[in-house]
Structure 1
Amino acid sequence: MKLYFILPLLFLLGQVQCQERELEWWETTVFYQIYPRSFKDSDGDGIGDLNGITENLEYLKELGVGATWLSPIFKSPMYDFGYDISDFYDIQDEYGTIEDFERLLAKANELDIKIVLDFVPNHGSNESVWFEEALRGHEKYLDYFVWEDGVVDENGVLQPPNNWISVFRKSAWEYREEVGKYYLHQFVIGQPDLNYRNPEVVNEMKNVIRFWLEKGVAGFRVDAITHLFEVDKELYGGKYPDEPLSGDLNADPLSYNYLRHIYTSDQDETFDMVYQWREVLDEFKERDGFSRVMMTEAYSSPQVTMRYFGDGEREGAQMPFNFVLISDVNGDSTAEEIKYALDKFLTFKPINKLANWVAGNHDNNRVASRFSPELVDGINMIVLLLPGIAVTYMGEEIGMVDGFVSWEDTVDPSGCNTDDPINYWTASRDPERTPFQWNSDKNAGFSTADKTWLPVADGYETLNVEVQKGVERSHLNVYKTLVLLRAESTFRYGRYESVALNSDIFAFRRWHNGVNYVIIINLRNKSYNVDLTYFENVVGNLEVVVSSIQSPKTAGQVLEAGAVDITGYESLVLRVV
């Protein structure tokens, strides 16, 4: 074949190869998690609410955020601050009303911000109508929960059915005289587990999903999914078996880590239920062409986590949460350990699925406290510029730190159940839930109340949104720049490779259609001169696109790829020019 025939053919093949598929909204947006109780109080009672969120949606728009996931807002006695739901079809009074929620949705739609709700399917509340009816002997609702007979010990004393332990310590069983049996609660006593071996429960929870989808929500984050099913006791003679010891020498007999939870987590039926919920979401997509998203919370092995994506025939969650930046690494981790953690999810995930990245949430210490305040920008670079979906917990964009919450002010059951006024803080989740820091006014601008539900963190007078808006070099402005940058084709469609240049320097490259970016993060307070020509096609001059707030470099500055000076804790986004 003549050369002049070959060249056009190669050109056409190249065009086909470089075609970029149209991405769905959830594949490109930044998800921003709001813990409603702590975001903004609109009525002065010291508790954040829906109207406080509605009034500040423009802030999310300024960030470049396109979707917000709200921690639970449903009717609840608040033993676990909304994760013990007494009515899945209504709003908790202190957060507002259904009408307030509808106004929130309408305002969000005006700003093109999607609303994602927390779906808490594993358990309800012992103050729900369902549970109250169960105690009255109503057969339908009795079977909504998991009941078991107790066992009588050698002293004639009734004991729980087996050795199962709650995530929040102590027995996972609670006796009710009205029924003459124990009910299962894998979390606090006020959270009785729902019985998913009952088809009526399955249908009820699908109806909950449909109810909120009809309201206009864009999807759900599914809480504590690993606990949804317990082993089928009929396989064990009609009795739930004891769980084996974990072998953890540091765990006391009342703690969750004392046992290996082979009968109460990651059961095969759980994945099938996720696939069924996806079918419900897809009912709505088929109706109007708009995808609803599902995120699943599972602190599981990569092999287990990947099953939430689907089984090859049926679709599951679009976003099985990737917690490696929370569970696998921290401020003591080396660059090699960071690389290993990040590569893990990318290695295990199906080739046709997207990764997702999250560095903080309402259950774990904030990035500035778990890593260091100096690494806030670097971690945000990782979350926002790696291939896949980005999720930000409120406050990470300004580098909020964990607040100090005294034993007297502690309200989180995870901390209170330690019964330990000295070491309670190691289990309490209150520090990462302290009120959002808007400005330097009273209570950081969160509330006009004399007392807020949790105390505001120290240092809010200088660490807040208003201050960071008013200066050129701030975590907030770095974050906004990164969100804009991730909209480029290189970060939406580009390839990825990473390297630990040494134990302190982690770097990764994103490239697409001849455009090359290198992101470099120094994890320690030590200076280095590094050669970035390790990366293919990274040669010559590099332009600084984004620099962390403590960096001496500014946007537009040009560096030599073969010899880049990196100061302590410096993080940079560089582009080959």
Structure 2
Amino acid sequence: MRVQVRNILLLPIFFVLAIAQEKELDWWETTIFYQIYPRSFKDSNGDGIGDLNGITENLQYLKDLGIGATWLSPIFKSPMYDFGYDIADFYAIQEEYGTMEDFDRLIAKANELDIKIVLDFVPNHTSNESVWFEEALKGHEKYYDYFIWEDGVVDENGNMHPPNNWVSVFRKSAWEYREEVGKYYLHQFVIGQPDLNFRNQDVVEEMKNIVRFWLDKGVAGFRVDAIAHLFEVDKELYGGRFPDEPLAGNGDDDPENYGYLDHIYTKDQDETFDMVYQWREVFDEYKGKDGLTRVMMTEAYSSPQLTMRYFGEGDREGAQMPFNFVLISDVDGSSTAAEIKYALDKFLTFKPIDKLSNWVAGNHDNNRVASRFSPEMVDGINMIVLLMPGIAVTYMGEEIGMVDGYVSWEDTVDPSGCNTDDPINYWTASRDPERTPFQWNAEQNAGFSTGAATWLPVAEGYETLNVEVQSVTERSNLNVYKKLAQLRTEPAFRHGRYESVAFNNDVFAFKRWRNGEIYVVVVNFRGDSYTIDLSYFENVTGQLETIVSGIQSPKNAGETFEASRVEILGSESVVFKVL
């Protein structure tokens, strides 16, 4: 064991966050948002696919977990090329998931339990099987203008080529030719997802009407998908044709890869932010009627400077929660404590002083925490997500430390993986592993479904890694999570200040305090043990009481330790309180 007392290898730059001390916080400012991928949460009818009734039947599980709101990935009518992100009818429920009556029952049950329902909103594109697109192909002028069309380029041999070099997020050309109209349409994602034309006011109003429809149904807000792609550059500024995008110059030499280009004309356009502010006005219309805040989350993997613009500008309000992806995009299991600190402090540094941060470590598009970091770090990451200042977001399964499932090339269904056309390396692009069915118990299909087969195979090891086992195991990821969810309701975590330090390459710690009540959270990201002087933090002296400890820790609640010399074992995560 290496001993380290007051020997700070990486000098910290303290960041102290002041949150309004006396402000009464709104529901969304204190809750935990729990993301459900409906297809994989719970199958109620044995067809191997999760559904709305499966969610309704298990809302009590969320309540017991300490969850106050759940965000559902798309449940709208869709041909399912991209599993619901290709929406054919924004006003209808996909049959596999249930009916509108099932949705109404879900809302009613959620209201009984005081759980808010937030839906995915996918405004960038629709499905090529939508009525809008079908009418466009028939020459219906209104719906033709719902989409983005461009003439192809004919070479010297008379061969037709796409209008320019734009590439889809899922590889290959972002343009698809349709003989019916003699033009190419733009799709920034899969071919079956034609981009909508937000320079058309009819599209703008259509999307606002969709928002109003679901707000009228009782939803408490939306997570806005792929918002950074909403607008393309105005081609009239370039002689009436969309220009080529420049090369990224990042070493990617495959012109079919999204990373090959610098997407200056198809991403992060100024008009995108104005549209977010317009949607917020619709949200606030409803708050004006009944006093309930409708929350907007925006998904954009952008720079901090751009991300902050989603909050609003001037006197215009935007999203309450521009997603903070630093725990996904900036760090992983190889990161040092200093890199963790730097990533966490970044959002706090850039955000407006009157806005809240948010923390998310996993979702349906990225590897699970246990796989991206390690199973031993699940509790430590959950401590960061739940106890840092601001709003917590948990992807289903992170509370029990689910790992990515193995999905063979033959079983792969995610277009991001399938479009690689590579049966060897497909897994590097596929999002199927983090979407495998939720693990309820040790029964067939992990209790997810009574069917003979499930839409994706259940991850190995579910017999011991599941909700039922962890519920009756005193020290489990699930029970640690529940304790953390309860602890975050304390004033020091709801209203308190924040300070962090990397004690060395492995040990990260942060302090939360308010009105003399002080907590210190310590996370060791590696297997080595250290003796740490936590009195490095101001006013952290004398005895520390263990409040919550992760499953890798031998410390028990109520045990006390001297602040100036606390032994932190490998992969240990602990929450202390100053006595």
- Structure 1 length as normaliser, TM-score? 0.97
Q: In structure 2, what is the equivalent of residue 548 of structure 1? A: 550
Measured in 2, the distance between the counterparts of 1:278 and 1:552 equals: 48
Q: In structure 1, what is the equivalent of residue 361 of structure 2? A: 359
Instruction: Note the C-alpha offset of 1:80.
Output: 0.1
Measured in 2, the distance between the counterparts of 1:280 and 1:474 equals: 43
Measured in 2, the distance between the counterparts of 1:151 and 1:513 equals: 68
* 1:164-193 C-alpha deviation (Å, 9 max, x unpaired): 000000000000000100000000000000
Instruction: Note the C-alpha offset of 1:509.
Output: 0.2
Q: Give the 5 Å matches for 1:124-143.
A: 124-143=126-145
Instruction: Note the C-alpha offset of 1:312.
Output: 2.0
Q: In structure 1, what is the equivalent of residue 155 of structure 2? A: 153
Q: Give the 5 Å matches for 1:106-255.
A: 106-255=108-257
Measured in 2, the distance between the counterparts of 1:279 and 1:53 equals: 30
Q: In structure 2, what is the equivalent of residue 416 of structure 1? A: 418
Measured in 2, the distance between the counterparts of 1:310 and 1:505 equals: 36
Measured in 2, the distance between the counterparts of 1:485 and 1:312 equals: 36
Query: Which amino acid counterpart does residue 340 of structure 1 have in structure 2?
Result: Y
Query: Which amino acid counterpart does residue 238 of structure 2 have in structure 1?
Result: Y
Query: Which amino acid counterpart does residue 507 of structure 1 have in structure 2?
Result: A
Q: In structure 1, what is the equivalent of residue 93 of structure 2? A: 91
| 8 Å contact kept, 2:21–2:495 | no
Measured in 2, the distance between the counterparts of 1:123 and 1:104 equals: 27
Q: In structure 1, what is the equivalent of residue 35 of structure 2? A: 33
| 8 Å contact kept, 1:251–1:257 | no
Query: Which amino acid counterpart does residue 349 of structure 1 have in structure 2?
Result: K
Query: Which amino acid counterpart does residue 291 of structure 1 have in structure 2?
Result: T
- Structure 2 length as normaliser, TM-score? 0.96
Measured in 1, the distance between the counterparts of 2:431 and 2:253 equals: 19
| 8 Å contact kept, 2:367–2:404 | yes
Query: Which amino acid counterpart does residue 501 of structure 2 have in structure 1?
Result: V
Q: In structure 2, what is the equivalent of residue 292 of structure 1? A: 294
Measured in 2, the distance between the counterparts of 1:18 and 1:281 equals: 24
Q: In structure 2, what is the equivalent of residue 12 of structure 1? A: none
| 8 Å contact kept, 1:75–1:86 | yes
Measured in 1, the distance between the counterparts of 2:431 and 2:113 equals: 32
Q: In structure 2, what is the equivalent of residue 272 of structure 1? A: 274
Q: In structure 1, what is the equivalent of residue 324 of structure 2? A: 322
2:384 pairs with 358, 382, 407, which one?
Answer: 382
Q: In structure 2, what is the equivalent of residue 435 of structure 1? A: 437
Query: Which amino acid counterpart does residue 481 of structure 1 have in structure 2?
Result: K
Tell me if 1:499 matches 2:501. yes
Instruction: Note the C-alpha offset of 1:528.
Output: 0.4
Q: Give the 5 Å matches for 1:39-118.
A: 39-118=41-120
Higher RCO (Cα < 8 Å, 6 or more apart): 2
Identity, % of aligned positions? 80
Measured in 2, the distance between the counterparts of 1:377 and 1:317 equals: 29
| 8 Å contact kept, 1:365–1:432 | yes
Secondary structure of 1:343 counterpart? helix
Q: Give the 5 Å matches for 1:409-488.
A: 409-488=411-490
Query: Which amino acid counterpart does residue 497 of structure 2 have in structure 1?
Result: R
Query: Which amino acid counterpart does residue 116 of structure 1 have in structure 2?
Result: V
Measured in 2, the distance between the counterparts of 1:252 and 1:333 equals: 28
Instruction: Note the C-alpha offset of 1:252.
Output: 1.3
Tell me if 1:563 matches 2:562. no
* 1:115-161 C-alpha deviation (Å, 9 max, x unpaired): 00000000000000000000000000000000000010122100000
Secondary structure of 2:251 counterpart? coil
Secondary structure of 1:476 counterpart? helix
Instruction: Note the C-alpha offset of 1:19.
Output: 5.2
1:520 pairs with 519, 522, 544, which one?
Answer: 522
Measured in 1, the distance between the counterparts of 2:179 and 2:255 equals: 26
Measured in 1, the distance between the counterparts of 2:498 and 2:564 equals: 20
Measured in 1, the distance between the counterparts of 2:524 and 2:125 equals: 43
Measured in 1, the distance between the counterparts of 2:21 and 2:358 equals: 23
| 8 Å contact kept, 1:123–1:192 | yes
Measured in 2, the distance between the counterparts of 1:165 and 1:532 equals: 51
Measured in 2, the distance between the counterparts of 1:157 and 1:163 equals: 16
* 1:363-417 C-alpha deviation (Å, 9 max, x unpaired): 0000000000000000000000000000000000000000000000000000000
* 1:522-557 C-alpha deviation (Å, 9 max, x unpaired): 000011000000000000000000001021110000
Secondary structure of 1:415 counterpart? helix
Query: Which amino acid counterpart does residue 271 of structure 2 have in structure 1?
Result: E
| 8 Å contact kept, 1:26–1:293 | yes
Measured in 1, the distance between the counterparts of 2:254 and 2:367 equals: 23
Measured in 1, the distance between the counterparts of 2:239 and 2:198 equals: 19
| 8 Å contact kept, 2:520–2:577 | yes
Measured in 1, the distance between the counterparts of 2:321 and 2:314 equals: 16
Instruction: Note the C-alpha offset of 1:18.
Output: 8.5
Q: In structure 2, what is the equivalent of residue 575 of structure 1? A: 577
Q: In structure 2, what is the equivalent of residue 3 of structure 1? A: none
Measured in 2, the distance between the counterparts of 1:269 and 1:407 equals: 40
Query: Which amino acid counterpart does residue 445 of structure 2 have in structure 1?
Result: N
* 1:317-339 C-alpha deviation (Å, 9 max, x unpaired): 00000000000000000000000
Measured in 1, the distance between the counterparts of 2:325 and 2:219 equals: 24
Measured in 1, the distance between the counterparts of 2:449 and 2:260 equals: 41
Query: Which amino acid counterpart does residue 131 of structure 1 have in structure 2?
Result: F
RMSD between superposed Cα atoms in Å: 0.8
Secondary structure of 1:182 counterpart? strand
Q: In structure 2, what is the equivalent of residue 303 of structure 1? A: 305
Measured in 2, the distance between the counterparts of 1:153 and 1:464 equals: 58
Secondary structure of 1:69 counterpart? strand
Measured in 1, the distance between the counterparts of 2:476 and 2:34 equals: 19
Query: Which amino acid counterpart does residue 274 of structure 2 have in structure 1?
Result: D
Measured in 2, the distance between the counterparts of 1:18 and 1:549 equals: 34
Measured in 2, the distance between the counterparts of 1:153 and 1:413 equals: 30
1:397 pairs with 396, 399, 404, which one?
Answer: 399
Secondary structure of 2:493 counterpart? helix
| 8 Å contact kept, 1:222–1:296 | yes
* 1:212-246 C-alpha deviation (Å, 9 max, x unpaired): 00000000000000000000000000000000000
Measured in 2, the distance between the counterparts of 1:287 and 1:39 equals: 34
Task: Tell me: CA distance 1:567–1:129, structure 2 relative to 1, closer, same or farther (3 Å).
Answer: same
Measured in 2, the distance between the counterparts of 1:533 and 1:170 equals: 55
Instruction: Note the C-alpha offset of 1:251.
Output: 4.5
- Aligned residue pairs total 561
Q: Which consecutive residues of structure 1, in runs of 5 or more, have no partner in the other structure?
A: 1-16
| 8 Å contact kept, 1:18–1:513 | no
| 8 Å contact kept, 2:88–2:129 | yes
1:20 pairs with 19, 22, 27, which one?
Answer: 22
